[in-house]
Amino acid sequence: MSDNKIIKAIKEKGQTMEAEMSFFDHLEALRWHLVRAAIAIVIFTCAAFYFYDFIFETIIMGPSKPSFWTYRMLCKLGDYLHRDGFCINKINISLLNTEMAGQFTLQINSALLIGITLGFPYLLWELWRFIRPALHEKERKAASGFVIYATFLFLLGVLFGYYVITPESINFLAGYTVSTQIENKFSIDSYLSSVSTLTLATGIVFELPIIVYVLSSLGILTAKFMRETRRYAVVVILIIAAVVTPTPDMMTMLVVSVPLFILYEVGIVVAAVVDKRRKAREEAL
């Protein structure tokens, strides 16, 4: 009897050690996926650092110049509608550096932000490669386009934030004053923070359908719940649009909120598809 207990204890210990080794193997695999993603981000960062003159003058400082694409399109829209006030001929923005290493830090930080933005799709690919072996065949087919869809939505959000939200916000904030005795002079760090935050935050917000898909797959979110809470979602979206675009005009707020409304409706469709698949699996069982 005692021999059987010893053998049983040895087997249980062996199973425990095998599970622990499997867990650490997974951690090791995840570590290498993240290492490869980090290397890709470093490569993109180095490339951005090398081509920094073009990046700074054309991309970072672009929304502060009247020749920016958005301002030119607004001017053409005003001509088409025969309305004045759409053209922006001057942006009252004055940037300064107040720290000894400020400009060097600016180049490092902005190059890193460019590297993260460009390396984000590869990071998603590495995460997908890590998760994929744990999925069943049907789950793999259902989520086969995860990287493509997530990358597309992120880049679409980045472009929308950069070409729509950022220039409108900079144009408004640069010319906003509470008194003529106060002169607007912005630090270069503040300018970079505004451009990067508005751009990347919009890219993350545009991942809403992917987030809905994940939560629906886990059974946390349903299409019925999203439909019932649509009225509250409208209020939340309007609040987000008001915060992201600190401009007083209603038109800019609507321009920002309409894509968010569309994303919410797309999320309802995604949740409905996931609910339908779950019910089909339950009926099959």
- pLDDT value for 158: 93
**What residue has token string 């950069």?**
162
Residue 62 lies in a domain: yes
- pLDDT value for 10: 43
Q: Do the beta carbons of residue 74 and residue 86 sit within 8 Å? A: yes
- pLDDT value for 219: 78
Give the mean pLDDT per block of 10 residues along the chain (285 residues).
46 47 68 90 95 92 90 84 77 86 91 93 87 70 77 92 88 81 86 89 88 82 88 86 66 79 91 84 74
Q: Using one digit for the tens of pLDDT, what is the confidence trace for 203-236?
A: 988 988 888 888 887 778 888 889 999 899 888 8
* Domain total in the chain: 1
- pLDDT value for 205: 87
- pLDDT value for 237: 85
- pLDDT value for 7: 44
Residue 218 lies in a domain: no
Measure CA of the first residue to CA of the last residue in the chain; give whole Å.
Answer: 42
Measured CA angle at 198 (ends 111, 75), to 5 deg: 105
Residue 195 lies in a domain: no
Residue 255 lies in a domain: no
Instruction: List b or e across 244-278, with b for residues whose CB sees 16 or more CB atoms inside 10 angstroms.
Output: bbebeeeebbebbbebbbebbeebbebbbebbeee
Residue 126 lies in a domain: yes
pTM above 0.75, yes or no: yes
Residue 16 lies in a domain: yes
- pLDDT value for 111: 94
**What residue has token string 């569309």?**
262
- pLDDT value for 247: 58
Measured CA angle at 125 (ends 119, 131), to 5 deg: 140
Residue 245 lies in a domain: no
- Structural domain for 94, as ranges: 2-154
Name the maximum alpha-carbon separation found in the chain. Answer: 97
Q: Using one digit for the tens of pLDDT, what is the confidence trace for 264-285?
A: 999 999 889 888 887 877 777 6
Let me know if 173 is exposed, middle or buried by CB neighbors in 10 A (0-12, 13-18, 19+).
Answer: middle
**What are the residues whose beta carbons fall under 8 Å from the beta carbon of 206, sequence distance 6 or more?**
153, 154, 156, 157, 160, 259, 263
Residue 8 lies in a domain: yes
